[in-house]
Amino acid sequence: MATTSTSENTVGTALEAELLAGIPNQLFIGGAWVDSTSGRSIQVHDPATGEVIKTIADASVADGAAAIDAAAAAQESWAATAPRVRGEILRRAFELLQERKNDFALLMTLEMGKPLAEALGEVAYGGEFLRWFSEEAVRISGRYGSNPEGTGRMIVSQHPVGPSFLITPWNFPLAMATRKIAPALAAGCTVVIKPAELTPLTTLAFAQLLEEAGLPAGVVNVITTSTSSAVSGPIIADPRLRKLSFTGSTAVGQKLIQQSAAGVLRVSMELGGNAPFVIFEDADLDKAVDGALIAKFRNIGQACTAANRFIVHESLADEFARRITERVSGYAIGRGTEEGVTIGPLINDDAVAKASELVADAVNRGAAIATGGAAIDGAGSFYEPTVLTGVQPGSDILREEIFGPVLAITTFRTEEEAVALANNTEYGLVSYVFTQDLARGHRMIEKLQTGMMGLNVGVVSNAAAPFGGVKQSGVGREGGLEGIHEYLSTKYTLIPNS
């Protein structure tokens, strides 16, 4: 495991302590930082050491009610705020984020574990949602025209859906917050956001930034809680709530959709993934290896878009595995703040246990470990970056989302077989295809059952593009032109000619 010198650790500890001291430990409700009425607290841990880095407020049901009260009270005035003003606040937030990118990156590394270089990448990515939707705020439009009968004029207009409840995951603490908050604010919606219990600090810091950017009181409210179901349930049931957006597991998403049905809420669900990474016999293998490494090991494999099943043509499988193994064997493992670290810790020991179980099952069914394959003893939640070859049908690792640094290779012979293997899942978030045959690439666009696809590329996410899946990977889209419409309702008005 990578290490740093004592002097670097001393400096790092001082900088980290100063940064953490500036993060609020309260809830943000109605434009004020307030204590939890429960009197309870949440301990936030550094997954690289297991140590507590911050203790924050643990919201109660009453705090959740206060948050939706604040959002509902601010809704009318925020919806009436000029789109240009809404956009300028988002633009100012973008600029402030760029000024403080190093602080936000370090904060994410401390509470989530990703290497600092990747955390800086998330700041850049997350910031783009602020910039993109600051520009979209002034482009909300409708249409006007005569009806076919010529008896009247039709006006189609767009309006904010109203108070929205946003639930974000732990793996991308900043980007998941900006990807939801930015379009909501641009559309004129107020929000209550509940970050994940494991990584709440980035959202609290972002609320500070929004306040400084000039956001009015009550437009964004942040509740951090260890009793998510208890606090979220009454918010979802509140008749003033009109929108629910969630990123997380399919199982939780299904329950939230059921809860939202009573109020017929608008929902956006970005749920589980089981991404296939298909390498055809005519692929550029250098590009495929580079794409595979980023698609698999970005964020330590803890991404819904992470490639889960590497479906490689049998003529290339051995060479692909050799090249991948050579590269992965050289990865540096350690705390994300350490120079040169490629693989940080998993989020907690449960994640390590899951990776261990999936690898053990695959090996028991006939797979071979080319490199890695074990948890790392000592402080923190570390698992070796792993490559498995010869993964057999029926292995759990081909059905379940890994969410860890394990690359599992299986093979195919024909295009039809590759498509069948890729689609053999209830999920459909993203797929990756490597081929130099343009016609085949177009066929894959038509045949692969996913909401997104990377053709000869290992990363697809972009603020200007619609992000989302099909089947049990969710409904709705975030980002792109489509993202703001998730927070708008359409009204049709007829004006008779006489």
Token pair of 27 as six digits: 């809830």
Give the CA diameter of the chain.
83
Question: 221, 244 in Cβ contact below 8 A?
Answer: no
Token pair of 365 as six digits: 């069914």
Q: Is 324 helix (H, G, I), strand (E, B) or coil?
A: helix
Tell me the residue type at 235: I
DSSP output for 209-269:
HHHHTTPPTTSEEE---S-HHHHHHHHHH-TT--EEEEES-HHHHHHHHHHHHTTT-EEEE
Rounded to whole angstroms, the Cα distance separating 148 from 154 reads: 10
**Residue 270 annotated as catalytic:** yes
Question: 335, 344 in Cβ contact below 8 A?
Answer: yes
Q: CB neighbours of 489 closer than 8 A, spacing ≥ 6?
A: 158, 159, 160, 161, 266
Strand 386-389 versus strand 406-412 pairing type: parallel
Q: Which of 118, 136, 304, 338 is catalytic?
A: 304
**Residue 304 annotated as catalytic:** yes
Backbone dihedral region for residue 166 (phi beyond 0: left; psi -120 to 50: alpha; all else: beta): beta
Helical (H) or strand (E) element with 2: none
User: Residue 95: which of 204, 213, 201 has the closest Cα?
Assistant: 213
Q: Which of 122, 211, 270, 486 is catalytic?
A: 270
Q: Is 53 helix (H, G, I), strand (E, B) or coil?
A: strand
Rounded to whole angstroms, the Cα distance separating 166 from 411 reads: 40
Question: 15, 106 in Cβ contact below 8 A?
Answer: yes
Mapping DSSP onto H, E and C, the string for 28-43 reads EECCEEECCCCCCEEE
Token pair of 279 as six digits: 């390498």
Residues with catalytic function: 270, 304
